[in-house]
């Protein structure tokens, strides 16, 4: 622990010595005063395509909206105009007609028009390859794209899809890129390793020292000019070092729970920094049981474990009251998600009765129940990238131990964690819904038992005809049928105890209020949208 603190201090000093001065107003030659801002991120930016499948390039995901735009946008739960000023949907749900904004250009000077939209929509599925459908269903449904006139485009689908507009609002992967970004075969050019070729308020032109990346205003931006002239993103993988960077004025703002723990949020708030919590939840955190592996192939064990988890205590003591207890996979205000469920409240007595009624007893007094020679043991696998998961995992395991279920926490880096989920090497998995523009439809689609091998769809393999029901859901626009399917799926998850919804996660922001006047949560709550930041 002491060594770790020394390393963190040395890192902070090194970063301080090499950092770009982060004053809100800097005089540069004859350019006058420059409004600039410095943020931080854990990842390097190795490419700047909005469709980034490489793990090393995920950092761009949180900043995409600053560089690229979509045909429609997602704000405060609503679909609003984006690069398309308006749109119509045919009665059968098969044709989406978008009327595009005129006089919009990409940062390389190429005009944004119907031909550009056509090229993007035809090439995006090719670039997705085997992952087509993982980031929204609509990219699997494109039949043809027709240019009606320079600023009108029709997108024809092979079947109707009730959440198509939500998918069109996904900055990853349906943001519009300059046609010059593509090779003849539809693959991305290497240009996107050193430049952004979008229509958004900011752009990148290769300005980095390998640690800090600098982005400047797009001079041809079509909408309201943002206040901040340029912003820097400094790569700081360690959360403690990131907070030291904020205190030393190397970094001006931390955005998202991935940047800080709830405890550090409180500490920074007490130190005088402005600390904000989003009104809405960005996603739902949950536990998924491995229903194909003992002991959680036993419904009674899953039910007992559900009763053993004290979500109220977790939200209060682990999350500092900054998250909302969840009793379903989605908040009830989301479309089709208001379902009456007889949920599992915290009740250790009931958990013990269920276990003993089904033959699980602690016969040797070691605190772990057994049945037919099998001990009630397992592992909770989680990603170590999540700043609070170590504490949360320890609390969850302790709560389960209270009723005689011994679960060992097993934290892993994201890639290894994904492999464990895919191979079923876990008893309980921690995961979250997609959140934002992707919820609830993309999360539900990816619960399809044949969609892949992860914790969610493995759990739903016990749901009655889940695959057939989700397939039927994704070819209808009948709201009554959609609601009935959601009622069934969410009820199955609850009644068969396939999952334990833990909490609806709010997003956090902390900033230097001597420099920043205001921050507004917009769109994807945990993502960074620099125009929403106002300097003093």
| pLDDT tens digits, 390-442 | 899 999 999 999 999 999 999 998 889 889 999 999 999 999 998 888 899 99
The helix/strand/coil state of 344 is: coil
| Rounded to 5°, angle at Cα 86 from 170 and 446 | 25
Q: What's phi and psi for 286, nearest 5 deg?
A: -150, 165
Q: What is the pLDDT of residue 418?
A: 87
Q: What is the pLDDT of residue 15?
A: 38
Place of tokens 């001079």: 219
| pLDDT tens digits, 275-321 | 999 988 889 999 999 999 999 999 999 999 999 999 999 999 999 88
The span from the CA of 480 to the CA of 384, in Å, is: 41
Beta bridge partners of 156: 95, 144
Q: What is the pLDDT of residue 57?
A: 53
The span from the CA of 48 to the CA of 411, in Å, is: 30
The span from the CA of 177 to the CA of 50, in Å, is: 8
Closest CA to 457 of 254, 230, 292, 233: 292
The span from the CA of 302 to the CA of 288, in Å, is: 10
Percent helix / strand / coil, the chain, rounded to 5: 35, 25, 40
The helix/strand/coil state of 70 is: coil
DSSP 111: B
| pLDDT tens digits, 473-509 | 999 889 999 999 999 999 999 999 999 999 999 999 9
Domain 282-506 sits in CATH at 3.10.105.10
Write out residues in the chain with pLDDT < 70, as ranges.
Answer: 1-32, 52-59, 387, 452-453
CATH code 3.40.190.10 region(s) in the chain: 2-50+200-252+512-535, 72-181
CB 492 within 8 A of CB 498: yes
Q: What is the pLDDT of residue 292?
A: 94
Q: What is the pLDDT of residue 29?
A: 37
CB 459 within 8 A of CB 501: no
Q: What is the pLDDT of residue 89?
A: 97
CATH topology of domain 2-50+200-252+512-535: D-Maltodextrin-Binding Protein; domain 2 (3.40.190)
Residue 236 Cα distances to 56, 204, 248, 314, 374, angstroms: 14, 19, 14, 28, 45
CATH architecture of 72-181: 3-Layer(aba) Sandwich (3.40)
**Residue count of the chain:** 536
The span from the CA of 12 to the CA of 248, in Å, is: 9
Three-class secondary structure assignment of 18-63: HCCCCCCEEECCCCCEEEEEEEEECCCCCCCCCCCCCHHHHHHHHC
Q: Is 59 exposed, middle or buried (0-12, 13-18, 19+ CB in 10 A)?
A: middle
CATH code 3.10.105.10 region(s) in the chain: 282-506
Place of tokens 């379902």: 339
The span from the CA of 132 to the CA of 173, in Å, is: 10
Q: What is the pLDDT of residue 23?
A: 36
């Amino acid at each position: 622990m002491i060594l770790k603190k020394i390393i963190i201090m040395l890192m902070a000093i090194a970063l301080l010595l090499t950092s770009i001065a982060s004053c809100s107003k800097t005089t540069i030659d004859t350019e006058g005063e420059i409004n600039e801002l410095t943020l931080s991120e854990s990842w390097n930016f190795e490419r700047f395509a909005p469709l980034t499948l490489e793990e090393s390039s995920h950092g761009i995901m949180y900043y995409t909206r600053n560089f690229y735009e979509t045909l429609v946008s997602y704000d405060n739960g609503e679909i609003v105009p984006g690069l398309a000023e308006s749109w119509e949907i045919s009665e059968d749900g098969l044709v989406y007609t978008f009327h595009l904004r005129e006089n919009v250009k990409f940062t390389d000077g190429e005009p944004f028009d119907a031909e550009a939209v056509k090229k993007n929509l035809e090439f995006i599925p090719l670039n997705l390859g085997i992952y087509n459908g993982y980031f929204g269903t609509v990219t699997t449904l494109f039949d043809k794209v027709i240019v009606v006139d320079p600023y009108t485009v029709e997108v024809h689908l092979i079947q109707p899809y009730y959440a198509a507009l939500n998918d069109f609002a996904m900055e990853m992967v349906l943001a519009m890129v300059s046609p010059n970004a593509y090779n003849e075969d539809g693959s991305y050019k290497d240009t996107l390793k050193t430049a952004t070729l979008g229509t958004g308020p900011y752009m990148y032109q290769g300005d980095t020292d390998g640690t800090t990346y600098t982005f400047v205003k797009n001079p041809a931006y079509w909408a309201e000019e943002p206040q901040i002239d340029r912003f820097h993103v400094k790569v700081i993988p360690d959360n403690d070092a990131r907070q030291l960077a904020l205190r030393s004025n190397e970094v001006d703002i931390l955005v998202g729970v991935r940047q800080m723990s709830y405890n550090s949020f409180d500490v920074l708030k007490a130190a005088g920094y402005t600390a904000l919590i989003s009104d809405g939840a960005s996603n739902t955190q949950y536990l998924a049981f491995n229903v194909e592996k003992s002991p959680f192939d036993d419904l009674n064990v899953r039910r007992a474990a559900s009763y053993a988890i004290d979500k109220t205590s977790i939200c209060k003591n682990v999350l500092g009251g900054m998250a909302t207890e969840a009793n379903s996979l989605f908040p009830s205000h989301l479309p089709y998600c208001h379902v009456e469920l007889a949920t599992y409240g915290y009740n250790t007595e009931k958990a013990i009765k269920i276990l003993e009624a089904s033959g699980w007893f602690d016969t040797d007094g070691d605190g772990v129940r057994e049945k037919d020679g099998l001990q009630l043991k397992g592992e909770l696998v989680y990603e170590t990238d999540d700043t609070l998961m170590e504490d949360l995992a320890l609390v969850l395991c302790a709560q389960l131990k209270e009723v005689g279920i011994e679960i060992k926490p097993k934290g892993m880096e994201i890639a290894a964690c994904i492999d464990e989920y895919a191979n079923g090497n876990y008893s309980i998995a921690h995961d979250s819904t997609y959140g934002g523009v992707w919820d609830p439809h993309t999360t539900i689609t990816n619960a399809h038992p044949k969609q892949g091998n992860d914790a969610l769809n493995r759990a739903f393999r016990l749901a009655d005809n889940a695959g057939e029901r989700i397939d039927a859901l994704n070819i209808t626009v009948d709201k009554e049928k959609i609601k009935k399917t959601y009622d069934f799926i969410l009820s199955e998850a609850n009644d068969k105890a396939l999952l334990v919804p833990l909490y609806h996660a709010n997003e956090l922001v902390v900033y230097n209020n001597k420099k920043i006047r205001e921050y507004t949560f917009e769109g994807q709550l945990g993502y960074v949208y620099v125009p929403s930041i106002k300097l003093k």
